[in-house]
Structure 1
Amino acid sequence: MTLSWLNGHRATLARSGVLRQALRVELIEQSLADDQIPLPDEQQQQALLRDFWQRQTLPPEKQASWLRQRHLSEAELIAMLSRPQRWRQWCSQRWAHSQEALFLKHKNQLDQASIALLRLEDEGLARELYLQLQEGEATVQELAERYCRDQPQRQAGQWGHRPLIELPPALADMVRSSPPGKLREPVQLAAGDWVILRVERFEAASLNDPVVPPRLYQLEGDAQLEAWMEAWLNQSGN
């Protein structure tokens, strides 16, 4: 598959709902080839295959049939399975020299927190539940199950240690400005969206954390990939 092939089959792929995914894969493959990012060594390849077949719960005698049905060779499967790892390697090579600039650009996407959260439509109910929490009459999780169960998109309850990027921007800013351990009085983020919040733990991203640089490279790689995709789609659509 090439970009020219994608362009020639654009309409069919779009109707099938796979154009963006196919384009993403092709752009990644092209980048890996251009910069000669190698496949993992034999031991890593076998580990990838072993883990994959275990997830598929397929015994060895059925694996060849599975591949034939999908018109794949084992080498092609290995290339697919190793693509995320090789893309991370490409991103690291591309932006390792820009660590500090990337940190300033993406820091807010890497901050993490554990929070207790209620999001309610009614101000009166929000203030009543706030008082219950203040008096220790109930827990956030109990109230979330009772009053927010039918609105899972509001992400109420005990919210484990996760990136703040997963929260709406206004709520993420509220988390950053809240002292850990303090129950915030109800705050209206938008019409019909009253928030009661307690930050259990906040962890600001730091370049001293060894997991942060790879995440920065991945974020920048994904942003670059998205820009390439939009440029190709807009150019090809003209």
Structure 2
Amino acid sequence: MSTTLQIDNRTITAEELVSLLTHYQIIPQVICESIIDRAIATIECTPEETAAACAEFSQQRQLASDTELQTWLWHYGLDQTQVERLATRRLRIDKFKQQMWGHRLESYFLKRKDQLDQIIYSVIQVENRDMASELFFRIHEGEQSFAEVARLYSQGPVGGVIGPIEFGKLPVGLREFLYTRPIGEVQPPVAFGESQIIVRVERVIPATLDETMRERLLQEQFAAWFDAQVEQLPDPDKIWMGASRN
């Protein structure tokens, strides 16, 4: 196993690595990965999973033979056990997420569903209350279409159509207002910030707990767990991580 690292024309010794990690501000990443490594230390993969992960690992690094792999391991100071842990790390993190939160993912989804549902809505935004009332009247009486009024007068998007966008990504006041509006009905002007808006809900798209959503919600909970771990770090480490509130 090599005790030096050759990068381009530079040879880096083991003794230099710590100062380099500090100099290049990689210490926060080391702390992050150490937190995760402790969490997944007892998570194991099957021999088949390990073999598949190692094969993918070698393919990504264009290591076509065992000789090339062994040369690569020597160059970076790793052994076979270490490379297996490295190759399966992503899979072991996924297994950790499933172990921790997979059994209660449906209840978490239902709790979040109001924010995950998507909406498509049309909006006309003007500064003047009287103008907003006049424009609403024109639309309501069929004198002009919503899209035409939006194109001619609105300060917002051309055509006035926004979405699909998740309810949770909307400003709180607008989200609460839109969530209870009937689909297809033009709403009278309401104040929003310093403007007046006329809105019409075009479509609501309910969120579903498909595979993509499952992965997203698992990652949300993993991120919350990770933030909680950072809060428990000693103050010097938290300062490195930019998490200190002092």
TM-score normalised according to structure 1 size: 0.57
Q: What is the 5 A alignment of 1:151-190?
A: 157-189=160-192
Question: Is this contact kept in 2: 1:111–1:203, CA < 8 A?
Answer: yes
Corresponding position: 1:41 with 2:52 = yes
Corresponding position: 1:96 with 2:98 = no
2:155 is matched by which residue type in structure 1?
Y
- Structure of higher CA gyration radius: 2
The partner residue of 1:148 within 139, 156, 159 is 156
Question: Is this contact kept in 1: 2:117–2:167, CA < 8 A?
Answer: yes
Question: Is this contact kept in 2: 1:188–1:194, CA < 8 A?
Answer: yes
CA drift of 1:100 comes to 3.8
Q: Distance in 1 between matches of 2:55 and 2:162?
A: 35
Q: Distance in 2 between matches of 1:162 and 1:140?
A: 23
2:206 is matched by which residue type in structure 1?
A
Deviation string 1:10-52 (CA, Å, 9 cap, x unpaired) is x984xx9x95x77655544554455347779359937x959xx
What is the aligned partner in structure 2 of residue 105 from structure 1?
111
1:122 is matched by which residue type in structure 2?
N
What is the aligned partner in structure 2 of residue 225 from structure 1?
226
Q: How many residue pairs get matched?
A: 197
Question: Is this contact kept in 1: 2:124–2:150, CA < 8 A?
Answer: no
Distance 1:106-1:29 versus aligned 2 partners, 3 A rule = farther
Deviation string 1:75-123 (CA, Å, 9 cap, x unpaired) is 99xx79x85x765553233211113431343223321122222344433
| Between structures 1 and 2, the one with greater helix share | 1
1:186 is matched by which residue type in structure 2?
P
Q: Secondary structure at the match of 1:162?
A: strand
Q: Secondary structure at the match of 2:181?
A: coil
Q: Distance in 2 between matches of 1:141 and 1:28?
A: 54
Distance 1:140-1:180 versus aligned 2 partners, 3 A rule = farther
Query: Percent of aligned pairs with the same residue?
Result: 23
Question: Is this contact kept in 1: 2:124–2:154, CA < 8 A?
Answer: no
More moved, 194-203 vs 212-221? 212-221
Distance 1:108-1:42 versus aligned 2 partners, 3 A rule = same
CA drift of 1:167 comes to 0.9
2:190 is matched by which residue type in structure 1?
V
CA root-mean-square deviation: 4.8
Distance 1:171-1:146 versus aligned 2 partners, 3 A rule = closer
CA drift of 1:188 comes to 2.0
Q: Distance in 2 between matches of 1:25 and 1:145?
A: 53
- The unaligned stretches of length 5 or more in structure 1 are 51-70, 150-154
Deviation string 1:129-153 (CA, Å, 9 cap, x unpaired) is 333443334507943885236xxxx
Distance 1:99-1:12 versus aligned 2 partners, 3 A rule = same
TM-score normalised according to structure 2 size: 0.56
CA drift of 1:198 comes to 1.5
Q: Secondary structure at the match of 1:148?
A: coil
Q: Distance in 2 between matches of 1:206 and 1:165?
A: 15
Q: Secondary structure at the match of 1:113?
A: strand
